[in-house]
Amino acid sequence: MDVTTPDQPTTTATPIDPAEASFDIVARQESTEAAVADLRSDLDRVKARIGRAARPALGTGDEAAPEVKGFVDGYLRRGATQEIKSITAGVPGDGGYAVPRQIDAAIARQLTEISPIRAIAQVVQTGSADYRKLVTLGGTASGWVSENAGRPETATPNFSEIAPPTGELYANPAASQAMLDDAGFDLESWLASEIGQEFARAEGAAFVNGSGVNQPRGFLAAPMTEEFDEDRPFGTLQYIASGDADGFGAEPDAMLIDLVHSLKAGHRQGASFVMNSATLAEVRKLKTANGAFLWQPGMVDGQPDRLLGYPVVEAEDMPDIAAGTCPIAFGNFRHGYLIAERSATQVLRDPFTNKPFVHFYATKRVGGQVLDSNAIKLLKIAV
């Protein structure tokens, strides 16, 4: 049987010119060689960068941060005003020049490592010294109703205002001009370390015992009473008496348990003990009635030691064990204590007051106050 199919177009292969094919091969080879050259150039730049990173810095800081290099080399070392760089809102007319971002970050790290209260409290950055915060005293009231019943108005919560007292924290380290002229002297690290040490020492004491006059008001400077949370006024801390006029009493384990459970369950999530090293030495010797130590050392590297399951923070500004003192605090300091500070540290270079030394006058405004008086409890040495 014959089958007739419609005519279909015929495809004819175009012959490839050998000359054009050879030119195409050469072009691809040249493109490949160019790509390899680019890769080798990138590798050389990476090796050079690694080599520079392996060498010790000579005080000028990161090469990719020109504002830091100009500030350190131009202003801190030589006092040249044409090299001043500023990356914050601070201006020379405000009494100094804002520290470059990298140096200010280094100071903040020093403060966190040295000042223990700063590490566990609530810290807010402010644009001015006048910082205020509203706190609600109890939540909004509610009620139960049936499907068709009316909805009467509920009570409105009361508010209280928190305005942490602030003061100007300052440090005034000095360096000789010969040190500044030495290229091997790491001025940036030295300045951050000196300022950090001075700031941490001063603010650590103020956060615990500060009077509130031109400085933060410490939590031990707040009013104290034995009344429970529902009975005492806002801003007043509750203390638990030790049961002995000079020490911890006959049942120290029961005393510490009472201290822990005087704090509401919501605040106990994230709570910690705060005491100095002398008090800690006595606490580590305490035992329960069956002879077990109350102290639990950290089992993992980097994990804090614990007392009754809660971490212990050593703050040397806490008082020693003595009649009438509060050597131990327990609470959630992130809920209970507020630190308000201006974010920019300012530095003023003074080469004239004490020649041949150059002083670096650094200032920073810091405030602090008890935020929630229900979140911090105190142990008082009293009957």
At residue 112 the predicted structure's pLDDT band, cuts being 50, 70 and 90, is confident
Residue 123's φ and ψ, nearest 5 degrees, are -115, 130
Every domain of the chain and the residues it spans: 66-136+157-215+345-370, 221-338+373-380
- What pLDDT shows up at residue 183? 61
- What pLDDT shows up at residue 103? 72
The pLDDT of residue 314 is above 80? yes
Segment among 265-269, 276-280, 362-366 with least mean pLDDT: 362-366
- What pLDDT shows up at residue 62? 46
pLDDT tens per residue across span 74-103: 666 666 544 333 333 344 433 345 566 677
Q: Cβ–Cβ contacts within 10 Å for residue 126, how many?
A: 16
- With CA atoms as reference, report the closest residue to 124 among 322, 313, 318, 338: 338
The pLDDT of residue 206 is above 80? yes
- With CA atoms as reference, report the closest residue to 372 among 127, 138, 124, 129: 138
Q: What angle do CA 304, 265, 379 make, to 5 degrees?
A: 65
**Over the chain, what is the mean pLDDT?**
79
- What pLDDT shows up at residue 270? 93
- With CA atoms as reference, report the closest residue to 76 among 169, 171, 173: 173
CATH no. of 221-338+373-380 = 3.30.2320
Taking residues 128-147, report their average pLDDT: 80
pTM for the structure as a whole: 0.70
Residue 362's φ and ψ, nearest 5 degrees, are -110, 135
